Structure 1
């Protein structure tokens, strides 16, 4: 439920903004668009460690159950948004943040509760199901949003309400605390430094992809630079503080465990590349491939979700199976092999023509889904099995932070790469294309030199970027232009194909590098390791040989 809501809004944004009567592409409104996407992700990334540590102190089931209730309240409030335009957008952003708090409570404690409940020889399969629910939800949300949003945008948020009510009642009635609470004081300094530092960093990345001062992006914006530098400094101070206090929120000593540190590094890199893939494929389908094949721009969000189904199905099949086999074979070979398959899929997407054969595209989606499924469940199981029982809440929160931060970072990293690639070729191509169909030089140059992020966001929202740009021009300035061709389904996709592919090469090259580094980290996680002494930090003497189950 939590991760469906992290992606269902992505595909539903056009209908949501039409519903609240706000044009997100107008100057000054792009921030609403970004915060509708990022607010949920930033909150979950920032709070998940704190809430995992609170689960260790006050009870994991207690925090988890409260998460269902908070999430459901947020969902109900989103359905009944009473405002329109900017007020309506702010209402949605506020209650999405509340949803994010509830989601963080669920993220932070679900893996720890399952690790407590299952013995080591069944833990991989249990955590595999949980991981499939988490990551699979982000793919399923694309389809659910595409189906429901055209009917009524409020259904996008209402769909969570019955599941939230059922989950709240069911969890309070059924779940029992099986872990031993660890008496500790709340780490106020750690919480403050981590929360402010990570929030500043993620907000700076969010605004870094927006134009600033005549530049295509905002990385020279003093506020963005302040957020980036200040956020990194606060996180460094946070690391120093956490290594010196008695009851830290972020237990730095866990990084001495090779399986924990290597698994989280691999998970972070996988999360960044997976998030970037999702955004790039949506833009590729909605902005180019679907219009070229006769789909109207307004219908592309739904069909993009449908055409991405092979990725979802492959992941949902591979995830539980990999969890099952990791109980017998360990995580290293499965997780490493999974990331190598993901790397191959990125290489395939890199050489695929912009107007591809769908069966080749679907084959690469299946390859990526299988690889992601092979990696995710064993990696999570290895991380959670490697830590002491009284630190599982903190460990789950730390792992969740890397996962959610990776998704947030992917927006900044991959949009930056794509915009940088487009900025080299798109202005001239767009200007020449407009001039060839009767648009005066001054108008064509003005549209062509607009920041590429505008074209990306328009395609992402299911709008015709050329039609959107020409609507801002006085009709008298484009009198005599061939508007029928310029605003057709094929003109913009054909025009942008070359520049977009140039950007894709850069994006997927970075994704390949991340996946290879992640695979290397997975190899160096060491032989299978299951922590068997709940009150101590493990030493090499505690290691369990590969393939041997814990007593």
Structure 2
């Protein structure tokens, strides 16, 4: 085993603390920016007179993040972590400053896309750098803290975004600058003294040129499908066809590239392929907890975005507790499989519990449901990263980590489409069936000033719902509750498939200093030999 020993950079305790603190800040920046803008978006588009381009502020960021994530992993494997993560942070900060001074919706959309290009590298490279300085056996307790950071950002984003929208929405972007600069200085300081070895390289320009448009076409299709355009429309069909053709050509090109953007040999290992599928599937279901629980609090219960963010604290607490605890336990026992299985089971139970939400559900009950869901999500997220990192060679560590992030991001985009379609279908059905009877109960004065022709206007915001006459408001709230029940049921079915998939994973041991997977043949032999339950 001597030639296969882990040879990453061992840091002193103080240097490790400095580096890890800086990496947590970079993860916080990326996670916060996914949630902080949504709450303030109505204020922003109102100020910039861009309601018709509303969705592009989010879509541009999402597409740029997902398309660039796989590239960062490979570039950092070739050129080293330090210059690439510094580039990602610098792009993100420059784009944040530019977004803050935007004067038109077009400018904001372009700068949000540029922000996404930077954000694509922040989370991926943070996980990868931890893997450079710690052997797999010790990574769990540190990467578990990343899950806690993600949870804090998920709850803090809506709260902070709602408050800053009332003060000055531009500070939603400016707030990134001081935090990002601290992270930039700290990461540069530590990694300059402890550079990650690089190797001879040749850029796979053809692979990159095929991968990025394939991802863009797919994300545009799942983002627009059923909303901007019908699924059967020529636009959506063409986008899906283009994504499929580009993906096939990309795979062909990667088999012939000397330095492929996505080394296909990683997928010959069943564990890596299975873990990638699990990340994609779990990303679809995870969207339900992050997006639709706040929707219940705002649309059904009438809370403000800031209040709904605070009400998400039980879920955040669950993610923090289970992320940290599972990280330490994984480092102690050296195995991760049963944490993934338990996380899938508990997440599924949490989503099933949410199908029992009603208009009069007490807060203690919904808080309990959120705690259960958070515990399951926290058990799941970081062990899956370890599973993918543990199976590949050190040379492919960066691209393996970025593959996990990319799969989860792509799953989130697909989840937006699937769960959104479920929600809209139930909402339309319930409103169409029940609004006429409710309208008949209105007084002549109320009925004269009310129209059911535009269902979107009735359900566009908590304020609009609160202003409805009592009979109409009751119908709308119950329609949202029924729609959310269906959303959580579908999400629970999706996470139930994760239970099966995680049970299929081999129960591998995380390797310590004495094991390094530099030789694929040796790695494959060790994996086959280490599948005990």
TM bin, normalised by shorter chain, reads 0.7 to 0.9
2 CA distance for matches of 1:205 and 1:115? 33
Q: Select the residue among 199, 205, 222 that pairs with 2:216.
A: 199
Matched, 1:64 2:81: no
1 CA distance for matches of 2:384 and 2:151? 13
Matched, 1:160 2:176: yes
Q: 1:129 to 1:546 in 2, by over 3 A?
A: farther
On the 8 A contact 2:207/2:260 being kept in 1, the answer is yes
Once the two structures are superposed, the pairs formed by residues 234-253 of structure 1 within 5 Å of their partners are: 234-253=246-265
2 CA distance for matches of 1:410 and 1:3? 18
1 CA distance for matches of 2:458 and 2:73? 40
Residue of structure 2 equivalent to 1:527: 507
Residue of structure 2 equivalent to 1:40: 61
2 CA distance for matches of 1:113 and 1:356? 44
Q: Select the residue among 539, 544, 547 that pairs with 2:524.
A: 539
Q: Select the residue among 187, 202, 208 that pairs with 1:171.
A: 187
What secondary structure sits across from 1:446 in the alignment?
Answer: coil
1 CA distance for matches of 2:278 and 2:458? 33
On the 8 A contact 2:221/2:240 being kept in 1, the answer is yes
Superposed displacement of residue 162, structure 1: 0.8
On the 8 A contact 2:154/2:290 being kept in 1, the answer is no
On the 8 A contact 2:300/2:480 being kept in 1, the answer is no
Superposed displacement of residue 356, structure 1: 1.3
Deviates more, 1:34-43 or 1:195-204: 34-43
Could you report, residue by residue, the CA deviation over 1:243-299 in whole angstroms, capped at 9, with x for unpaired residues? 343321111211222332222222222211111322211221111112xxxx5xxxx
Superposed displacement of residue 544, structure 1: 6.9
Gap runs ≥5 in structure 1 = 213-217, 468-484
Residue of structure 2 equivalent to 1:474: none
On the 8 A contact 2:423/2:484 being kept in 1, the answer is yes
On the 8 A contact 2:326/2:339 being kept in 1, the answer is yes
Could you report, residue by residue, the CA deviation over 1:93-112 in whole angstroms, capped at 9, with x for unpaired residues? 11111111111122332211
Q: Select the residue among 39, 48, 53 that pairs with 1:11.
A: 39
On the 8 A contact 2:62/2:116 being kept in 1, the answer is yes
Residue of structure 2 equivalent to 1:482: none
2 CA distance for matches of 1:546 and 1:72? 45
Residue of structure 2 equivalent to 1:128: 144
Residue of structure 1 equivalent to 2:15: none
Deviates more, 1:94-103 or 1:262-271: 262-271
2 CA distance for matches of 1:251 and 1:441? 65
Could you report, residue by residue, the CA deviation over 1:205-263 in whole angstroms, capped at 9, with x for unpaired residues? 21113255xxxxx2232112211222123223322332343321111211222332222
Aligned residues: 496
1 CA distance for matches of 2:327 and 2:273? 20
Could you report, residue by residue, the CA deviation over 1:107-130 in whole angstroms, capped at 9, with x for unpaired residues? 332211111100232111122223
Residue of structure 1 equivalent to 2:317: 313
What secondary structure sits across from 1:525 in the alignment?
Answer: coil
2 CA distance for matches of 1:227 and 1:455? 32
Q: Select the residue among 295, 299, 322 that pairs with 2:326.
A: 322
Deviates more, 1:386-395 or 1:261-270: 261-270
Q: 1:353 to 1:440 in 2, by over 3 A?
A: closer
1 CA distance for matches of 2:402 and 2:70? 4
Matched, 1:98 2:114: yes
Once the two structures are superposed, the pairs formed by residues 358-507 of structure 1 within 5 Å of their partners are: 358-437=363-442, 438=444, 444-447=451-454, 450=455, 458-459=460-461, 462-465=462-465, 486=469, 493-507=473-487
Q: 1:286 to 1:99 in 2, by over 3 A?
A: same
Deviates more, 1:258-267 or 1:322-331: 258-267
Query: TM-score with structure 2 length normalisation?
Result: 0.87
Superposed displacement of residue 465, structure 1: 5.0
Residue of structure 1 equivalent to 2:288: 276
Gap runs ≥5 in structure 2 = 1-28
1 CA distance for matches of 2:295 and 2:473? 11
1 CA distance for matches of 2:301 and 2:450? 27
Q: 1:56 to 1:260 in 2, by over 3 A?
A: same
What secondary structure sits across from 1:209 in the alignment?
Answer: coil
Q: Select the residue among 198, 204, 220 that pairs with 1:187.
A: 204
Q: Select the residue among 33, 53, 63 that pairs with 2:74.
A: 53
Q: CA RMSD in A?
A: 2.4
Superposed displacement of residue 146, structure 1: 2.5
Could you report, residue by residue, the CA deviation over 1:37-91 in whole angstroms, capped at 9, with x for unpaired residues? 222121111111011111111112210111111111111112222x2xxxx2222
Residue of structure 2 equivalent to 1:116: 132
On the 8 A contact 2:152/2:316 being kept in 1, the answer is yes
2 CA distance for matches of 1:13 and 1:120? 41
Q: Select the residue among 71, 74, 77 that pairs with 2:95.
A: 74
Matched, 1:262 2:274: yes
On the 8 A contact 2:392/2:517 being kept in 1, the answer is no
Deviates more, 1:262-271 or 1:41-50: 262-271
2 CA distance for matches of 1:520 and 1:412? 24
Superposed displacement of residue 435, structure 1: 4.5
2 CA distance for matches of 1:287 and 1:415? 15
What secondary structure sits across from 1:528 in the alignment?
Answer: coil
On the 8 A contact 1:338/1:371 being kept in 2, the answer is yes
